[in-house]
Amino acid sequence: MRLDAVIALGGLLGGLLMWALGLHLQFDRPLGEGWSLVPMVVAAAMETMRRTRPQVALSVGTVAVIADQFTTGNLATLVMFTDLVYAAVVYGTPANARRIPVTCGLISVAATIGFLAWFRTPEAILIGVVTALISITPATTGVLVRNHRETAEAERLRAEQTALLAEMDRVQAVSAERARMARELHDLVANHLSAIAIHSTAALSLDDERTTRTALGVIRENSVAGLAEMRRLIGLLRDSAGDLEPAAAPTLDGLDALVAGARANGLDVLLTDARPADDQRLPAPVELAAYRIVQESLTNALKHASPGRVHVRLTRDADSLTVTVTSPHGERDGPRAPGSGAGLVGMRERTALLHGFFGAGPEPDDGPEDGKIWRVRAILPVDTVGPPGTAAPSDRSGPSGPSAASSTSAASGTSGPSQAKE
């Protein structure tokens, strides 16, 4: 690299200048002054490989600095050797980064003890000190720099992971909000649009002025109500207050009006509220889910049910609210609106968000008429616990018998064999 070449050239020029000025570190050595240039040139050449081949550069540099001790010596050789030690720790493998400081410490101790035993004078300790300065000091500095770089890299990776997780959370939040908006939009307008579609088909197919006027009246009422609901939903979407639920979310107190609207659309609906008279108000999410399930069930009955009575029943036990809606199941004469299955998916999702049980499907009718009914049953816990989608306990299982399989299929958003519910 360019920086390595600059370091090598600087060390070489500095060493040549000191050699030209006659600045030497030692005297009375076996080799003359000219020989001190050889270790210096070798050390400068190794500087060019301080990053690419740090281990090779340090090994050859160590041989060069040992050879320099048999000449008059050059300070540039020692300085470049310290840089090779530093580079080997910083740019070498993790194993070498751990091994080199320990090796330098052992060499310094061995040099101190060896020269002290050889010369038998206190001044021999200075040789050990110099050895430590040119080996342990750059190795320790390299360890500190390497640890700092690794820490910085780990922090950078952690920041990238945090940003990635934040983006995933944002995407999941957006997806969840879009799903909630889709459920609200479907529940708000599906009932009105279904009534409009059925009555407009009846008005077109029957050549009767009275029937046509009645159908047009129902169409107008549902159009006005649907537009009002759409304006309300658009107002909620434009609201920047950040509320998770609408401020005026429907409750079970509005079931009478909901049933009255279904009767106006031509359904024979019976509402049975078997909850205790002194029952306290349920949590807002439970009441909203129960209201939407009844609303969607009545919409499905309007679109797909055979002639007959639709029965809506509410029951309450210690820790849950049970919503049951039954309607005649079978072939239907007259106009019917197409279904996409979004209604069943929405009811299942609303129940799963409350950790409850949902089932829907055809089953034999226990009444005097020998036929089938379509049953929608949702158990909504008042105190929700457990992971989303957890089934209710064994004493709250879905409809037994022939409807069990259909309940399972309905919970996954599919419909029965001959009566496609939306």
Distance between start and end Cα atoms, the chain: 69
Whole-number pLDDT of residue 407: 38
Q: Which residues neighbour 411 within 8 Å (Cβ) at sequence distance 6 or greater?
A: 348, 358, 359, 360
pLDDT the model gives residue 417: 34
Q: SS3 letters for the chain? A: CHHHHHHHHHHHHHHHHHHHHCCCCCCCCCCCHHHHHHHHHHHHHHHCCCCCCHHHHHHHHHHHHHHHCCCCCCHHHHHHHHHHHHHHHHHCCHHHHHHHHHHHHHHHHHHHHHHHHHHCCCCHHHHHHHHHHHHHHHHHHHHHHHHHHHHHHHHHHHHHHHHHHHHHHHHHHHHHHHHHHHHHHHHHHHHHHHHHHHHHHHHHHCCCHHHHHHHHHHHHHHHHHHHHHHHHHHHHHHCCCCCCCCCCCCCHHHHHHHHHHHHHCCCEEEEEECCCCCCCCCCHHHHHHHHHHHHHHHHHHHHHCCCCEEEEEEEECCCEEEEEEEEEECCCCCCCCCCCCHHHHHHHHHHHHCCCEEEEEEEECCCCCCCEEEEEEEEEECCCCCCCCCCCCHHHCCCCCCHHHHHHHHHCCCCCCCCCCC
Task: Give how far the C-alpha of residue 252 lies from the chain's centroid of Cα atoms, to the nearest Å.
Answer: 35
Give 373's strand partners. 328, 363
Query: Counting Cβ atoms within 10 Å, is residue 406 exposed (0-12), middle (13-18) or buried (19+)?
Result: buried
Separation CA 136–CA 244 (nearest Å): 63
Task: Please check whether residue 93 is in contact with residue 58, taking contact to mean a CB–CB distance below 8 angstroms.
Answer: no
Q: Are 274 and 317 in contact (CB under 8 A)?
A: no
Residue 259: band (very low, low, confident or very high) from pLDDT cuts 50, 70, 90: confident
- Are 410 and 348 contacting, i.e. CB atoms less than 8 angstroms apart? yes
Q: How far is it, in rounded angstroms, from Cα 90 to Cα 16? A: 28
Q: Taking 80 as the threshold, does the pLDDT of residue 174 lie above it?
A: yes
Cα 362 to Cα 406: distance, rounded to the nearest angstrom? 7
Confidence tier at 332 by pLDDT (50, 70, 90): low
Is the pLDDT higher at 190 or at 88? 88
- pLDDT band at residue 159, thresholds of 50, 70 and 90? very high
Question: How much is the average pLDDT of 292-308?
Answer: 84
The tokens describing 252, both together, are 């079970």
Lowest mean pLDDT among 200-214, 221-235, 328-342: 328-342
- Looking at the predicted structure, is the pLDDT value of residue 252 above 80? yes
**Residue 248's pLDDT is what?**
55
CB 380 within 8 A of CB 320: yes
- Please determine, for residue 398, whether its predicted confidence score (pLDDT) is greater than 60: no
Query: Is residue 327 over pLDDT 60?
Result: yes
pLDDT attached to residue 236: 64
Residue 210: is its pLDDT beyond 70?
yes
- Give Cβ neighbours of residue 334 (< 8 Å, ≥ 6 apart): 202
Residue 138 near residue 147, CB atoms below 8 Å: no
The highest-confidence range among 174-188, 216-230, 299-313, by mean pLDDT, is 299-313
Higher pLDDT, 122 or 79: 79
Greater pLDDT, 184 or 35 = 35
State the pLDDT at residue 366: 67
What average pLDDT does range 217-222 have in this prediction?
74
Say if pTM beats, i.e. exceeds, 0.75.
no
pLDDT for the residue 341: 60
Under 8 Å between Cβ of 403 and 363: yes
User: Do 356 and 399 meet the contact criterion of CB atoms below 8 Å apart?
Assistant: no
Q: Per-residue pLDDT averaged across 138-159, rounded? A: 90
**Mean pLDDT of the chain, nearest integer:** 76
The Cα–Cα gap between 321 and 363 comes to 22
Residue 117 tokens, joined? 């035993």
Give residue 155's pLDDT. 92
Sign of dihedral through CA atoms 258, 260, 266, 267? positive
Percentage of the chain lying above the pLDDT 90 cut: 9
- Chain length of the chain: 422
- Please state the rounded mean pLDDT for residues 308-324: 90
pLDDT in the model for residue 368: 52
| pLDDT tens-place string over residues 17-56 | 877 787 777 667 777 777 778 888 888 888 888 888 888 8
Q: What is the mean pLDDT of residues 257-273?
A: 85
User: pLDDT-based confidence at 370, cuts 50/70/90?
Assistant: low
d(CA 9, CA 41): 10
- Contact present, 269 and 310 (Cβ < 8 Å): yes
